[in-house]
Amino acid sequence: MTQADYLAFSEIDWDDIIDTMEVGKCILFLGQEAYLAPGGGNMEEGLIDWLDARNPEHPQIATLLEDGFLQFRKERLSYTIKVANRISEFFNQPFPESRKRFEKLAEIPFSMIFSMVPDNILAQTYDTLGLDYQHGYYSHNRVTPEPEWAVSNENPLIYNILGNIEDPESLILTQNDFYTYLEKTVAAKKQMRGLLDQLEQAERFIFLGLPYNKWHFQLLMRVLSMHTKEMGKIERLGLNKFEDEKLHKLFSKDFKIEFVPDSIDKFIETFHQKCEEAGITKKVAPPDPHLATLPDPSFKELILLLSEGDTRETFLQLEIFLNRRKPGSKKMLDRFIVLYNQFNLLKKHERKGTIDSRDANVEHNQIVEKLVAFIRETESQYPQTI
């Protein structure tokens, strides 16, 4: 395989890429090789070590297959949940090396980012930077249609294609899981119509860190391309240098991907620089240094604050706690906002004198009761933080 089979870094048409970015038609596909494990190194290997998946005496895992899938000792949901929880713990560690890389990516105005990894690290990076986004994931267990995503450069969609750690049963851990996933994906064309429409309207796909050597990724690419003929017209750029010439031919000819044999960091850095020169990078609000240094409140402290009558401070502390756990906490945050709004409206009526003091006391007590119940529910969701 010669260098001529690849696109040289100097030959990348950045002007054209920027043009597609500006009109919201450039979509990023992110794979596991775009991540770095805590401390550096290969993320997949880091996860395997974390799970102790090669241990022949592992209590749940019988075999780690060459393709990365697991075989469990027994087909029990409890086994799946235990391993899924360990995977969740792995991705909930600090990932400083990946975060540093993703901070640059987050400032590049993609309208959609599809991740092959079931984590929330990129979404949490957006949260840290104070950038807007929407978050979703595909679950082969879902019976309701996908939401109608209204995506834009200002409010992009981060979408986990292969499930999400917040929903253990959505994860693809075994070959059987993957086959079920493919069957459901083919059958779910109607449910995913809105998402597929967004993909069809794109003008460019960019692939970073995808597992080209894995047979299941090749099959997934074929299944996704079955959904629409329009996707065949979309320009595609990927970063990879192949050791296997047949694989390079498969992806460059069959899937029409132009490959650049350079590092991910060099590509992201240059991409960010080109967006900056074009004036389209996202503006990041400076972080509040006071909030950044505040420790997580304990649930005992929250209840104590409430018992001392400091309801507003309880709301503020709970909001900090939930914000640090986005996007997994987004549903709870939505409910929290409704309750906090009720409290603020009550205080507004009290200031204006538009509510009787006795009625105000009754309503305040009702809000406090709901807040106590909400704190207990949050405690059950995040028991490790007690």
- Identify the domain containing residue 321 by its residue range: 289-385
Residue 365 located in a structural domain: yes
For the chain, the straight-line distance linking the first and the last C-alpha, in angstroms and rounded, comes to: 56
**3-class secondary structure for 226-244?**
HCCCHHHHCEEEEECCCCC
Q: Any idea which residue has 């990879």 for tokens?
A: 240
User: 355 and 244 in one domain?
Assistant: no
User: 113 and 250 in one domain?
Assistant: yes
| Structure confidence at residue 191 (pLDDT) | 61
Residue 66 located in a structural domain: yes
Q: Could you say which of 257, 277, 297 is where a domain stops?
A: 277
Question: Each residue of 222-269: pLDDT tens digit?
Answer: 876 655 566 667 888 888 888 888 888 888 888 888 898 888 999 999
The span from the CA of 85 to the CA of 166, in Å, is 9
The span from the CA of 341 to the CA of 52, in Å, is 46
Q: How confident is the model at residue 198 (pLDDT cuts 50, 70, 90)?
A: confident
User: 380 and 321 in one domain?
Assistant: yes
When the pLDDT of each residue in the chain is averaged and rounded to a whole number, the result is 86
User: 56 and 191 in one domain?
Assistant: yes
Residue at 318: amino acid letter: L
Q: Which helix (H) or strand (E) holds 157?
A: strand 157-160
Angstrom distances, CA of residue 220 to CA of 64, 113, 178, 357, 383: 21, 17, 9, 62, 36
Quote the radius of gyration of the chain (alpha carbons, Å): 23
303: pLDDT strictly greater than 80 = yes
The span from the CA of 210 to the CA of 234, in Å, is 18
User: 311 and 210 in one domain?
Assistant: no
4: pLDDT strictly greater than 60 = no
**Residues of the chain above pLDDT 70, percent:** 89
The span from the CA of 247 to the CA of 212, in Å, is 8
Question: Each residue of 76-85: pLDDT tens digit?
Answer: 889 999 999 9
Residue 88 located in a structural domain: yes
157: pLDDT strictly greater than 90 = yes
User: 118 and 50 in one domain?
Assistant: yes
Residue 49 located in a structural domain: yes
> Which range in 127-131, 278-282, 343-347 is most confidently predicted, on average pLDDT?
278-282
User: 319 and 258 in one domain?
Assistant: no
Token output for 126: 């957006």
> Which range in 44-58, 175-189, 206-220, 332-346 is most confidently predicted, on average pLDDT?
44-58
User: 329 and 257 in one domain?
Assistant: no
Q: How confident is the model at residue 290 (pLDDT cuts 50, 70, 90)?
A: low
Domain count, the chain: 2
User: 240 and 150 in one domain?
Assistant: yes
384: pLDDT strictly greater than 70 = no
| Structure confidence at residue 244 (pLDDT) | 85
Determine the number of helices (DSSP H) and then strands (DSSP E) in the chain: 15, 9
State mean pLDDT over 201-209: 90
User: 310 and 264 in one domain?
Assistant: no
Residue 284 located in a structural domain: no
Compare 288 and 180 and report the one with higher pLDDT: 180
Residue 308 located in a structural domain: yes
State mean pLDDT over 86-106: 91
State mean pLDDT over 263-285: 91
Token output for 358: 């006795």
Q: Could you say which of 277, 305, 322 is where a domain stops?
A: 277
| Structure confidence at residue 119 (pLDDT) | 93
Omega prior to 168 cis, within 30 of 0 = no
Question: Each residue of 29-61: pLDDT tens digit?
Answer: 999 999 999 988 999 999 999 999 999 999 999
| Structure confidence at residue 385 (pLDDT) | 44
| DSSP helix/strand/coil, 158 | strand
**Residues of the chain above pLDDT 90, percent:** 41
The C-alpha angle with vertex 178 and arms to 173 and 180, in degrees rounded to 5, equals 120
Q: Could you say which of 277, 303, 338 is where a domain stops?
A: 277
The span from the CA of 121 to the CA of 298, in Å, is 24
User: 260 and 327 in one domain?
Assistant: no
Rounded to 10 deg, the angle between the 330-352 and 357-381 helix axes is: 170
User: 254 and 119 in one domain?
Assistant: yes
CA 40 to chain centre: 20
Compare 60 and 168 and report the one with higher pLDDT: 60
Residue 363 located in a structural domain: yes
Residue 139 located in a structural domain: yes
